[in-house]
Structure 1
Amino acid sequence: MKTNKFFGAVAAVSAMYILIPNQSAHAHGWAEFPEARQSICYEQGGLWSGTPPNAACAQAKAISGTYPFIQRNEFAINIPAPTYNDMEVVKAAIPDGSLCYANDAQKSGMGAEHSQWTRTELPTGTFEYVFNATAPHNPSFWQFYLTKPGVDVSKPLKWDDLELIQEYGNVAVDADKKYRMDIAIPADRSGDAILFTRWQRDDTVGEGFYNCSDITISGDSPVDPEPSEPYLEQGDAFIPADISLNTPQLGESVNYKVFSDNGDIHSSFSLEITADNQLDWDRLLASQVNGYYETQYSGNVFIGRWHAEMNHYMYFRNELHNNFFNASNGQAYGEFSITANNEFVEAVITPTVLKEITNASVTHGEYVVLTPASSKGDIEQISWVQVAGLPIETAIGQNDELIINTVLLENVAQEVSFELTVSGQGEEDKTVYSFTITPTDVEPGPSPEPLPGEQWSASAVYNGGEKVMHNNQEWTAQWWTQGEEPGTTGEWGVWR
């Protein structure tokens, strides 16, 4: 049996219920205007509880997982001084097709062929380019490239597709950690294009940052709001001292669980070791933890350590035993393990409140439905158990979904956690989902009169809120369903 796997449908969920300022931790930075494609995908969501709404972002996630979005600030490669001044060396280090992900194989989905990248409209002429430098680097220099007329921007970007349109030397960073420069779009350009940014540190290490901003030359767009950074308490090392990069073998899983201050499990993450990530698995596993807690819980857990000069938390690549569990509650902790990987079954929880939950929080009085429908494999048995929070009465639906009526709990801020176990073909897999319940003092008013629905069909798929007629009575689906007959699902059932 392995530890819980982490999937986009939210297999590993929740943090401890810890309140800290709404802050987030990053390294380095990304193009803010026009926004880099990895940042747009990150902001559009769908990383932890489903599929990104943009088709290109969804494809990138399918290829590379959530890592490119979580690491939107570090599309970078090191080209040691002085060779980063030789463009032939740069082109060899970042070959054609890999420009939009700086030749980092773990982010290759960001450079895959697709025509649906979200674009920022820009006019011809001069505009103010903004780079969000979560960690400013000076001295440094800048180069800006624009795709040539006629280039098919849906294809992986090549150096010959680009022409240099602007250069800057060592630009001072603003007090708000923004680099701002005037960039001129040639007057003869129109239509879809890619603005390619190179920000090169002028030092011995030679770290350079490369961003692709998808644009349409015709209009303008606003600048996103400014971010900030958190401060956390450092705990134990992320990876135990007796574990090396070569310890986990191909086909095994590296796992990490996060526990609250009272010892309750709140999230679990897992990564299968493959030939592609065998020497890079630690940062990928850390990125799952960091990305989930950043997007769902304001960054109150971070794997890495504080960088005093850069004034933020970051994961230190190639320092396996020098990254730590950090949390806003110093009594919380993490646990690393290595297990055999399941071949046949994978547990996945999809949380819904008539629609999919996206921020691990619901309002008191709502029904929560945890469905195992996205679990994979030939599932023979499914079971649920509450593992944290005040005990609450639950019910099991006809499709093994767990139904939770939060009105049965006291109307106060609290958090509850449930564990799903699936088994089949001699294997067992577990995963945990935790969510907070926000109190309300407002009594719900009467519902509006329902609109007439169509006749119920056993073969049709119905989503939460949809209405049907069956046996001369109107029924409303409480969540996703198919094949469950209205009038047979009971008081807690899907049809009411």
Structure 2
Amino acid sequence: MDFPKARQYECKSQGNHWTPATMKSAACRAALENSSAKQAAFDNWNGYTGFAMAPHSQQDARKAVPDGMLCTGNHPEYSGFNQPRSDWTTTTLQPDSSGKVGMKYYYTARHAPSFIEFYINKKNVDPTKKALGWDDVELLKRFEIEPGDASSTHTVNVSIPSDRTGKAIIFTRWQRYDAAGEGFYNCSDVNIKTRDGSEIPDENGTGDDDQVSGWVDKGAFITTADNPAVGEQVRFRLMGGTRGDNIVDVSLAISAANVANNKWIVELGQLLNREHSNLLQIGQQTADETITFNEQQPRLNHVFLSDQSYGYAVEIVKNAETPVIVLDSYTLEPIATLSTTSGYPVTGSSKSEVNWQWKRIAGDSRIVAAPANQAKTEIRIPGGVRGGTVATFELSGTSPKGSVGKAILKVNVLAAEVIATGPVSIAADKGGQYRARANFDNNKGEVTYLWSLLKNSTEVSGGIDNRGSIKTGLPAGDYLVKVVAESSDGERKATRTSALKITASDDSDKTGDYEGWKASKTYTAGNTVTWNGVNYIARNWTRSEPGKGGDWKLHHNRVAVEWQSTMVYVMGNVVNYQGQEYKASQWISQNNVPGVSVLWKLQ
């Protein structure tokens, strides 16, 4: 998150995390002291991840990232950045007359399709006293990044509620649509000003094709035809996905206490807004796009959905004759195994007394539910069942009077898959870094990744190490990077290859005037080194790598050096980017791209 700046990015930008005594921010220093990863929590500022499996909803994210860790994703080693404090550095947000603020997200790697969810802590939650949990935030906007979108930034116009001023946290989740479910989590500390009467453009651009999105009005929440009686239930379902699965399934019992004066409508609307605000909002939308629930005239409220493809249904279960059956999961996407049967628990529930029965009603007969006569069953997938195999199960609940309620579970077996990311072209003297993740990797250390580098179908010995780092000094040419992911039990295995072009080094551009930098050595202010052909001088005591952060600055390079996203630059530095030279007009923080940022002047 570039604006407002994410907490860990702000602390990283301030520098000096390798020299804690010189850190200016007490909050950043406390984050360092309370993170077991220490400086790595700063240097890996863009790696605060969590893995929410399909369909990647907030409920899936809740399983991936525990309460109290929203600011760091599933990284307890970075927990210092989850601390509730009042002295985090804040960014001032000045909403326009309609409450909109342009929030900018910068991508160090592009992932499309994906989406970004923008949240704010609820008004009754004090983030200076409590580490954020999922029930402490409310959704402001969801922004979709379409397949093929190559933008490096998006600025999204987000509406701040009119009653929100002062300190708050903007929490964002950038979620990939992929088998691994990778998402990136950030907290931005802000100070919200009152609306100032100005206007911002409908699309606040940064040079890329920015997009904006909002809630979709799908129609009336409760109509005049909906008049349940005492003893009945009102059921609300939200359906989505390619198969129209139930994403939300909520029932409300009608009693003497809520049947009069439409109290039941208020109870149901508030329940949905409280527990599922990332997917839907019940209320009326004003000109500034704020959605507020109308308690005085609840039948005037509409259903607003975060995805236009979603649908909803409201039904009255007459006299509670038909039991309402709810599943803890309506879809399963297990990963295929070679020979071992795998089991996946699914549990049904009902507020009525029922007898249970599971039954496969479609699909592959090798997939079974056992036991079949209990609410909780296990869906068993035998070894050898291939990815793409499907099955559909029905859970029925029969009341003592013979009324039957049903719920549907759909099973879609996925093939083992590994996704690799890394450069497509590197210079021979630069090397490169690849990363991989398998859709069967559950962060338990049970998956190994074996890397190899191939040229003309022959493995290059030592060309890539077991961490995915490409060796420097390799001959120019076309290569294939291969990674094999395998579970510890050998039941799941996947391979991915990626094309890599290595270009020849241009020795004429190398400066190399000083002793080479050594990772084991401590440097003090004024020390000079050469690293990757570039000359640097230390700004302060440091052990950090030149070219990363602000501890080193360029020093007496005879020609323009290649711009690095990880480098902090000072006024007068000259860099080369995409064949053109740029000069820094002032101090420039990381990830300000020449040709995009106005702080760089074309020479």
TM-score, with structure 2 as normaliser = 0.35
Select the structure with the greater relative contact order (CA < 8 A; seq sep ≥ 6).
1
TM-score, with structure 1 as normaliser = 0.42
